[in-house]
Structure 1
Amino acid sequence: MAKILIVDDSLFMRNHLSKLLGKNDYEIVMAENGEQAVQMYRQAKPDVVLMDITMPMKDGLQALTEIRELDAQAKVIMLTALDQELAATRAIHIGARDFLVKPVPPNRLLKSLKRVLEK
């Protein structure tokens, strides 16, 4: 069972993604900002990180950079709003494996996770 770290400042989004992924046999850990994401990455050692770009304290791009410094092979999928595609492109350059536009259709999210886990 793969472990997924969900990082989003929206409690609704964290719970929504947790329910969806839990039903599909993923183990879930969560963080609500970029600072917690880096701490949880160290502690939980997830197989994949699903991370929002816009968050308080430390945004997703800063957290992605720090996670990649900890683990150059980290598998991170960025979640973005429609108006953040430039930031999503930057995330790919930093090392994100994919980016998904919210709201993410469940089948698209599951397909992306499967592809990233297989690489």
Structure 2
Amino acid sequence: MVAEDFSGRALTDVVVNRILLIEADAETAQSMKTLLESQKFTVLTAKDGGQAQSIFVMRKPDFVITELILKGDTGFEICERFKQTDKTVPVLVVSEIELDQAKKLASRVGADGYLVKPVQPEVLLSKIREIAENAWWEVHSDRPREDRRVRFSCSCGKRFRVSPVHRGKSLTCPECGEPTMVPIHD
């Protein structure tokens, strides 16, 4: 279900216009850019951390998609730096790295989502919408910030909502039995 604002437009249409795509592989970047532009997003591309930082500061994207393996800075470092600059801009990691440790580290540095390549177009678009809408509601919720629940997912897909007092702590997923770290970021 897609939330709608008063004008009847999908909430994602309202909150995400400009996407910063950080991808070192030119062919992958072009195919993702074409997909996103077909959905009426404006796509700004960067192939490394330096370009990404400049675009992030100067062009103020509404959403960031980053690969982890880049020249110079890693996607983890870029994500952490962006979240320190503006924690309201959602960051989605799309990478070939399938390791649980990579997913956990991405969550710890502030990533709002993680997808493993190759990604089906409908899965990518759905994840962008989900993350953007969650970010919008987080910023615009009437509840005081300290009363908000921390939302995150286990690598098996099980979703959690826990009290902020559990940030940085580990819990055992009832679905798969694996330990899952509660993100420390907002």
Task: Give TM-score scaled by structure 1 length.
Answer: 0.93
Matched-pair contact (CA < 8 Å) for 1:53–1:61: yes
Q: Is the radius of gyration larger for structure 1 or structure 2?
A: 2
Tell me the residue number matched to 1:88: 103
Matched-pair contact (CA < 8 Å) for 1:68–1:95: yes
| Rounded Cα–Cα distance in structure 1 between residues aligned with 2:67 and 2:58 | 20
| Rounded Cα–Cα distance in structure 2 between residues aligned with 1:21 and 1:99 | 17
Tell me the residue number matched to 1:79: 94
Matched-pair contact (CA < 8 Å) for 1:35–1:63: no
- In proportion to residue count, which structure has more helix? 1
Shift of the alpha carbon at 1:84? 4.1
Residues 84 and 35 (structure 1 numbering): CA distance in 2 closer, same or farther, change over 3 Å?
farther
Tell me the residue number matched to 1:10: 25
Q: What letter is aligned with 2:64?
A: V
Task: Give TM-score scaled by structure 2 length.
Answer: 0.61
Residues 83 and 116 (structure 1 numbering): CA distance in 2 closer, same or farther, change over 3 Å?
closer
Structure 1 residue matching 2:66: 3-state secondary structure = strand
| Rounded Cα–Cα distance in structure 1 between residues aligned with 2:99 and 2:86 | 25
Q: Matched residue pairs, number?
A: 119
The one of the two structures with greater contact order (alpha-carbon pairs below 8 A, sep at least 6) is 1
Structure 1 residue matching 2:72: 3-state secondary structure = coil
**What are the ranges of 5 or more consecutive residues in structure 2 without an aligned counterpart?**
1-12, 135-186
Matched-pair contact (CA < 8 Å) for 1:80–1:88: no
Deviating runs (4+, > 3 A) in structure 1? 82-85
Report matched runs for 1:18-97 at 5 Å: 18-97=33-112
Matched-pair contact (CA < 8 Å) for 2:98–2:116: no
Tell me the residue number matched to 2:169: none
Tell me the residue number matched to 1:107: 122
**What are the ranges of 5 or more consecutive residues in structure 1 without an aligned counterpart?**
none
Q: What letter is aligned with 2:30?
A: N
